[in-house]
Structures are given as structure tokens and as C-alpha cells.
Amino acid sequence: MIGRLNHVAIAVPDLDAACAQYRGALGAVVGAPQDEPDHGVTVVFVELPNTKIEFLYPLGDNSPITGFLEKNPAGGIHHICYEVDDIMAARDRLQAEGARVLGSGEPKIGAHGKLVLFLHPKDFNGCLIELEEA
């Protein structure tokens, strides 16, 4: 059901510093910051030959990343995103198998302009999983 790895998301306490580090020390192609108000984050994508890294930084007072950074002040891996061909079919299959979809259970538009869902980390070995329709 899952396809290729779309990205690994890292919550960062200092977006500018993270971008500079990846651009400078690692020589990566780092995109521009993009506010995602529906998700409460500012994102930056680091382009790799086979996938992407997504930096997550809090946007607004109710950002879900704020709590993560309070528990992990240095930042850290927040979630992994896999592509799926049909997000509704994937959701229905996962729910039938007992997986919990976060939020309302309805997909939202993500940072790439495509439908996304998040799966509860307790159902996937402690890992928050994002599914993005390919």
C-alpha cells in the first residue's frame, strides 16, 4: 500500500540555523520557508536525490510543534511521510485494521498541495506517520 518515502520531518527550534547548517555544512539545496496555517507550522524542504527533509517550525500559538519542542528542546525527528496512490482507500484500509487517524479523519491539503493524513504514533511503533496522496 505505501509507496516511496516522501520526506522525513525534523522539528527545529531555530529554522534559520537549521537551514544554514544544511546549506553550509552539508551542501544541501534548501528551499524557502513556507507558512502552513492549517497545520500550525512553517516548513522548509531540503531536496535530496532520493527524498526530502522537511524542517518544521511553530507557526502561531497553537502549533502542534510547540509541545514537541518543549519535550525535545534541541529538536528531533517528528514524523515520516509515505506516499500512497489513493489516500481514502489507504485510510479506510488502515481504520479497518484498527489504526487511528488523527484529527477528524478527513484528509487536509499539505505543504505540497496534496491530500495528507496523520496516523497515531502509538499504532506504529512510536512513529507519527503522514500519508500523502501521490
Catalytic residues: 130
Q: Do 80 and 51 form a contact (C-beta atoms < 8 A)?
A: no
Per DSSP, helices labelled H in the chain are: 15-24, 64-71, 87-96
The rounded distance, in Å, linking the Cα atoms of 122 and 117 is 15
Q: Do 68 and 78 form a contact (C-beta atoms < 8 A)?
A: yes
- The residue to which cell 522525513 is assigned: 8
Grid cell of 41 as nine digits: 507550522
